[in-house]
Structure formats: structure tokens, C-alpha cells
Structure 1
Amino acid sequence: MTIDGQAVQTTGTFGVVNPATGEVAEQAPDASREQLDQAMAAAAAALPEWRRDEPARRKALQAAADLMFARSEEIGRILTLEQGKPLGDATMEVIGAGVWLKYFADLELPREVIQDDDAAFVEVVRRPMGVVAAITPWNYPLLLAIWKLAPALLAGNTMVLKPSPFTPLSSLKLGEVLREVLPPGVLNVVTGGDGLGAWMTSHDVPRKISFTGSVATGKRVAAAAAPDLKRVTLELGGNDPAILLDDADPAAVADKLFGAAFMNNGQVCSAIKRVYVPESLYGDVVEALAAKASAAKVGDGFAEGVQFGPVNNKPQYERVSELVADALAGGARAAAGGKPIDGPGYFFEPTILADISDGARIVDEEQFGPALPIVKYNDLEEAISRANGTHFGLSGSVWGTDAERASEVAARLECGTAWVNTHLALAPHQPFGGFKWSGVGVENGPWGLYGFTELQVVHRSKA
């Protein structure tokens, strides 16, 4: 682990499974309560000097970005081993981390003058919150860590980072690499199970918790933060709808729909999770998507030409298997896929489910895996109502050749991001967050930066 700029060993370890084999590939350190206390103390001790020197912070973030670019394949191989995604995708995740770091290294920290007259000079400035506890998920462990680290550190905070126990190795490597450019204590990386996360959220040192993960865990994080009035940003689940309008061209949109549903093997919080299609286009859309799924190459992320690796972990593999089996038992048709792939590892066939509707669990719940239900509709108003009829509200998309009409429909979606003729178009300058149970607060852009700051009014009397 990384605590106070030093490599720290633990007496206990836990196994990290390679999802392509289902076998333990490495051991990761299991932090004790005392080591978490040490990490928090180191972050608190580093805070006064770190918050004082903004140019040094920007320089450090630029250097961190350069390290991500330079060591992208090395870190990417670790990511593929523990997460399962193809090596090319893993390497691009590390490069993406560098892009995010570069963006925030150059982002302005605004100061706003709201009064300057004979009576007073009054300025509104943004101050760091203090120590940030960051807890990250297993689908994009490195990139989503940087989504938190880059704005938090730019704002002058310090951090204790805990990755998912399914994917701790890449974050441990991140801590090791960034020791080269960050002062001791600014970033501390600790690993362990769910108990460690609970210790972090209830710890008396952090003033902010930034969490990405499930709705159920997010609610527990919010409850743990409440007694100490810790600030929280929660990026939680999504059940993102895509609505095709009656003027959509199935052949033209199939590639984009499939890519946005199955990116990272469907393990993306804002991926397309259900598609609503007018009856007149239904057969063509199902056929086009089924052809894409049937042609996809699934395998070990280190193998040449693989498009999709395994589901990351056994519980999620079992959940996807259960949801697909439940849909088929309820009368749905597997136009492609429909079952686990025989052999070792957590591999599941890319699956397109047809003849299915709302009420099926895989439509109503977030599957977070390589299975996509295609739902028929006859009335657009009904489709919009069904798309919005959920506790989730992360993102959604509308597809049609009349972009103005599609935009009008997209504006009626109850979600944090409404795309038109695209989906999963994410960027560092664009805020990302959810409505309803999909989250509290936003990440990315200046809005994400502001989430790691407190407003302070500086009022200087001239009287």
C-alpha cells in the first residue's frame, strides 16, 4: 500500500481472482484499522502545505498525467489481469486517466468579486474541504479513481483511496507510481474488503466522501457520513434507456447502439441497459443487434482480437446468468447468446433478448453485464413514461433522423445526461451525475471540481 509516501506491507492479505480463469492470481494487502488511521493521519498532516501552493499542485498533476501516458501498457496489463477487459481497452483506460489529469491540471479555480465599492471589497473563493475518502468500483478502477483524485487534489485536498477488493492491484500500482511526483501523504492507497470501506466512511478525519458503486452501498455511505455532516458525492447505478423513434434507421444506428450497450462487456454504469423500439422497426433492430452479438469475439483479455473479456467477478456473473435465465423462463427469446460459456472463467455470451417487456427483472433492474433487452412499443408517450418509470436516472438516449424531434424527446428524460443519436459520449469537461437514486452531486468539469471545495466569503471593509 502507499501511506505517507512509503510502501507499506500488511500482515494479512486477500486473493485477487483473474476472471478469465476464475483462479486467484495475486495476493493484495488487507489493511488493518491502525493502518487506515495512519493513512488518514498522513493525509491530514500533508494538507496544510499542499493546499498552500496551487502552482505546485498543477505541476504535480501534469507530471502524474505524463506518468500515466508513459506507463500505460505496464499498468494496463495489471488492469487486464484483475478486471478482465481486453489489453487494448485497459491501456486506453490508463491513457484516459492521463487525459483527465491534464484537463484538471489546467482548469481554473475561480475567484469571484461580488462587491468592490467605497464600502467594501467582497470576494467569493473556493477553499479545499480537507481529507477526501475516495471509494472506487471494479469496472473502471483506474479511470474512476482519477475522476476523484484529479479535481480533489487540484482544489487543495489530500486523499485516502480505497479500490474495490475485486480490482485492487491497479490502484496499488497507481499509488506506487505517483509517489514519484506527489509529496508524502497527499495520496494514500489502502486496500481491503467491505469492512475497510465502512471504517473509512465513519472515520473522523475525512470531510468529504466520494463514492462510486451500487445504490445499496451508496445509501449506507450517506448514512455513515450523516452524523459527522461529511460532504458526499455518490455516483450510483443506472438503468439507462435508449428510445428509437419511428424515423430511426436500424442499419445506421445498430453499431452505435451495440457499442454503447456492450462497452466493457456491459459493465458501465451509464451504458444502454434497455432499448425501446417502435413495432414497425422491431424485427429489423433485433436482427441487426443479434448479428453484432453473434459475431463478437469473447475471450481472455490478453488474447489477440478479443472484443469482450469475462464478467469481472463471480457474484456479478451469477447475477447476469440469473437475470437472463429469469427472462427466458418468462417467455423472452434469446435472439443471440443467452447462456454462460462453458469452461473456466466468468464468460457469458453477448445476449440480445427479444419479445420482452417492462416487468421482467432484466428490464426493471440494472443487469451490468453483456445482456440487452429490446422492448417493443406502439405509443411514444408510453415509451417515455416507461423509460422514466424507475428509481434510476443516470443517463439515456434518443435516436432518430429528425434530430430536433429527437432532442425534444430527450429533454423529457429524467436523467443526468440525455444524449441524441449517441450514448456514452463522456468527456472530462462534461458534468456527469444522476437524478433520483442514481446519485448525489456530479463529477467532471468545473462542477466536479466545485464538489471538492467549500465556498468562503472574504469581506474586506474599506470604511
Structure 2
Amino acid sequence: MRNALHLIAGSLVEGGSGGFDSLNPSEPTQIVAKAPLGTDAEVALAVNAASEAFESWRKTPGPGKAERLYAWAEAIQARAAELAEAIATEVGKPIGEAKGEVGRCVAILRYYAGEPVRPSGDVIPGLANGILQYSLREPLGVVGLITPWNFPMAIPLWKAAPALAMGNTIVLKPSEHSALCAHLLAETAVAAGLKGEFNVVQGAGPAGSALVQHPDVKAISFTGSDATGAKISVACAQLNKKFQTEMGGKNVAIVLADADLAQAANLVAAGAMRFAGQKCTATSRVVVESSVSGKFIEELKKAIDGLPVGNPLEMATAVGPVINQASYDKLNAAVKQGETIHQVAAPNTGYFVSPTVLGGVGPEHDLAQNELFGPVLTYLEAGSLDEALTIANQTRFGLSASLCTRDIRAALTYIDRIQAGMVRVNADTTGVDPHAPFGGMKGSSSGTREQGAVAKDFYTQYKTVQINP
């Protein structure tokens, strides 16, 4: 057990009021970390530290910013094994995927280390002769980040890295379920030489609310549930504060009759069940062309049976526990709502939920409409691609989708008609390269995009300049 601390102005500090325990979801009696419940006053201290660091950071030349970001990547790389073990222990992510997350953190920071030295702005011809007119991007100031537990290091970094690269300073409020991971990330930031530029306040909802409400925080970037995202959107709109919300999904995989059914089954099983389905892009629904439904179900059963359930610290494990008791109870109640097509046994200890495929429901049913965030897949059938697309789009979400087919015309039709921000063909619904834009449509997102070169759009504001003779 370790103490997970706040990071304020380059110093790891204990909280002054109350605390909470972060538990191991595989063994809930094991306390992974004790952390402080951040107060309004501690949020204010962190915001003040970021405000004081802002002017010097924004004026730091591009190569200087790049050096800090690259140094952060090196600090994470040097502790890769330790960080991956912490992710696996604290949030139950299988160690293979946890190692992949740490590698992604390094890739994100190295990518954004190149951004501060790239041109920013445009020269714009004037309507009259002799005028110099141009635009430039400027940082916003202090940006608040509110992040979830399921990617406890990668998501904070794919927000913080572009924000810092563009000259902003940061206050991060991580999930209370990943307090140790946030603490270790803070340690690597200190090792990279960051001080008030990157701050962390541990805690629960009230600390996040204080961050949203603070007048010196110029923007909020949030990833989490659609219910919390909606509250943050309203609060920021009332404060005329820039905001970005990436929220839930009811992601669909469509399997056509011409697909390689064994390959499709492996993709659907992986997208739905790995990391116990706890990714915002996890496959939550599969729509299969009716003529091959029976064959596909047999392939899907084999594919799911091939995903070991168990201790996330073992390399062979593909499916670990869900995050907490509330999620465990919600998922076990949900599986009673449908007909069980297939189910795999799970350990009796910890928050392990049996990977389950459910059928016997229509596309309007709760199981086909609402995010479950667990290893539960809703099985639907369609008579054609057209019907499958109608079913696929019949939710309030629009984050990720996939299609399995050998027909390029079908793939192009799907790409055109699917209402999702992340569109994949012959791949599962999860995953995106760290340099590619990420985000959803409809109720999954506020419409902005994270990652890649477009991430700078959120973390900057334009200034248009005209110089006359």
C-alpha cells in the first residue's frame, strides 16, 4: 500500500482533510493506495500554481517545451514495468494491455514533443495593398483535465501533452479509482522537470466540480460518463468556459454474410471482452446478417472461450475484473434481462463478471441502447446491410463502429452511412493510433477531437492581426 498525493507546484503534498482508499478490484480487501479527498482550497492552490507558471511556460521557446515533453517520455519509459504493474493492480487491466498503455504514453509524449516547433497560424492576403495580415494561435491559460480510471495514464497524457505543447498549464483531477496511477504519473512529471506547469489534485466529484467552477480555469477537457459530461457541459456553458467532453458509447460491430466468420468472431470477442469490456470503444452490440447467424455464433463461442479470465498480473489473462462493486452489481443485474447465448465462468473472488453474450431482445431494448461498460455483448440480427445500418444508428451514441466484410462496396456504403466518429473495417471497435484524431458523434462527444494535430484546436485560441502602413 502506498500514499497517493497531490502534485502542486512541483511538490508532492498530502491533503489536509479526509481521504479514501483505492482498492484492488481483483482482491477488494487489498488497499492499493490511500489518497486525500481534494478540497476547494487545494484545487485553488493547484490552479494558482498553474497560473503562476503560465506566463513563463507560454514564453518558453518551442525547443524548450519539446525538451520537457521528451524528458517526460523518457521518465515514463525508465519506469515502464512498475507503471504497468500499477495499472494492472489498481484498475484490473491485464498486464499485456497495461504494458501497451505505458508504451502509448511514451508515444504520445514523443509525438507532441514535435508540435511546439511546428508553424502555428497563417498569412492571410489583405483586400488592399500594403497590408500585412496574419493569424496566430495562442494558449488558453490554465486548463482543467478530468479523467477516468480505465486508461489511467494514457488519457491524462493525451490531454496534457497537446495542452502543454501549445503553451497551456494543467490541473488534473483523476478518477478516485486510479489514485496510485495518477501519483506515479505525477512522479514522472517531476522527474522530467515540470513544476507548476502540471499539477494533480486527487479526490472525488467535489474536487472536479471545484475545478470546473474556478474562474482562473479557462477550459475543461473531460472523459467519462455521459451523465457527468452533460453536467460539465451545462456548467461550462453557463460560465462561458471552453469545454470538451468525450463520453460513452454503444459501439456496434456489423458482420455480413461474406465476411471471414472466424476472423470476425475473434475481432468481436476481443472488442467486447478484453479488459472486461471497460473501454469507451468496446464492442457492446453485434449485428449479424441472418443467413450466417448460426455459423457465426459457433465461431463467437470458440473465440470467447479462447480469452482467459483471471488474474490481470498474469500475461495470459485477457479478461480481468470490473472496477468496483457498483459495476459488478449493475452488470450481474443486466445479464438477467436477456437470453444467454453464451457465458464463460469467472473467478468467485473479486469483481469478476462472466463474459456473456445475450440475445432475445430487439434493438430498442435497454441492453441494445445503454452503455454497460462490462464484458456483456448484445446479439442482434439483420436481413441486410441496410437493416444492419438502421439498427446500428438507432442509439443516442456515436463513438465507434466496425464492419466485417470482403465487399468494398459494402464497406464504402457503411463508411458513408454509419453515425460514428471512429469507423473501422475488418478490425474491432477499439483502438486508434496516438497521432490520429479521436472522438465521437451524437451523445458520445461535444464534437471536438482529441489526439493528432487537430488536438491543438481545443487548446488554443486564434488571434487575427492586421498591420497597416
Q: TM-score range by the shorter chain?
A: over 0.9
Match of 1:242 among 253, 260, 268: 253
Runs of 4+ with >6 A deviation? none
CA deviations 1:27-65 (Å, max 9, x no partner) are 112222211110000000000000011221111011111
Match of 1:58 among 57, 66, 72: 66
**Match in the other structure for 1:428:** 434
Q: What letter corresponds to residue 202 of structure 2 in structure 1?
A: T
- 1:438 equivalent to 2:444? Answer yes
**Match in the other structure for 1:310:** 321
CA deviations 1:277-301 (Å, max 9, x no partner) are 0111111111111112223211121
- 1:453 equivalent to 2:460? Answer yes
**Match in the other structure for 1:45:** 52
**Match in the other structure for 2:125:** 115
Residue pair 1:240, 1:394 contacting (<8 A) in 2 also? yes
Residue pair 1:246, 1:400 contacting (<8 A) in 2 also? yes
Distance (Å, rounded) in 2 between the aligned partners of 1:446 and 1:82: 32
Is the alpha carbon distance of 1:304 and 1:155 closer, same or farther for their aligned partners in structure 2, counting shifts above 3 Å? closer
Q: What letter corresponds to residue 239 of structure 1 in structure 2?
A: K
**Match in the other structure for 1:359:** 364
**Match in the other structure for 1:169:** 180
**Match in the other structure for 2:42:** 35
Is the alpha carbon distance of 1:334 and 1:407 closer, same or farther for their aligned partners in structure 2, counting shifts above 3 Å? same
Q: TM-score, normalised by structure 2?
A: 0.94
Distance (Å, rounded) in 1 between the aligned partners of 2:227 and 2:302: 35
**Match in the other structure for 1:300:** 311
Distance (Å, rounded) in 2 between the aligned partners of 1:334 and 1:399: 21
Distance (Å, rounded) in 2 between the aligned partners of 1:77 and 1:262: 21
Match of 1:401 among 406, 411, 419: 406
For structure 1, list consecutive stretches of 5 or more residues without a partner in the other structure. none
- 1:97 equivalent to 2:108? Answer no
**Match in the other structure for 2:140:** 129
Deviation of the 1:414 alpha carbon:
0.9
Distance (Å, rounded) in 1 between the aligned partners of 2:137 and 2:273: 39
CA deviations 1:304-353 (Å, max 9, x no partner) are 522221011221222211211122xxxx233233x7x3522100122122
Residue pair 1:397, 1:410 contacting (<8 A) in 2 also? no
**Match in the other structure for 1:411:** 416
Distance (Å, rounded) in 1 between the aligned partners of 2:312 and 2:119: 40
Residue pair 1:286, 1:352 contacting (<8 A) in 2 also? no
Residue pair 1:130, 1:206 contacting (<8 A) in 2 also? yes
C-alpha RMSD of matched pairs (Å): 1.6
Residue pair 1:323, 1:361 contacting (<8 A) in 2 also? no
Secondary structure of 1:335's aligned partner: strand
Deviation of the 1:254 alpha carbon:
1.8
Is the alpha carbon distance of 1:47 and 1:389 closer, same or farther for their aligned partners in structure 2, counting shifts above 3 Å? same
- 1:319 equivalent to 2:330? Answer yes
**Match in the other structure for 2:88:** 80
How much identity, in percent, do the aligned residues show? 34
Which aligned pairs between 1:244-283 and structure 2 lie closer than 5 A? 244-283=255-294
CA deviations 1:2-45 (Å, max 9, x no partner) are 10001111132201110001224121122222111100000000
Distance (Å, rounded) in 1 between the aligned partners of 2:166 and 2:380: 45
Distance (Å, rounded) in 2 between the aligned partners of 1:360 and 1:456: 49
Distance (Å, rounded) in 1 between the aligned partners of 2:193 and 2:219: 20
Secondary structure of 1:322's aligned partner: helix
Deviation of the 1:391 alpha carbon:
0.7
Secondary structure of 2:443's aligned partner: helix
**Match in the other structure for 1:370:** 375
CA deviations 1:163-214 (Å, max 9, x no partner) are 1111111111111221122432100011111111111111111101000000
Distance (Å, rounded) in 2 between the aligned partners of 1:112 and 1:192: 42
Q: What letter corresponds to residue 93 of structure 1 in structure 2?
A: E
Q: TM-score, normalised by structure 1?
A: 0.95
**Match in the other structure for 2:3:** none
Q: How many residues align?
A: 456
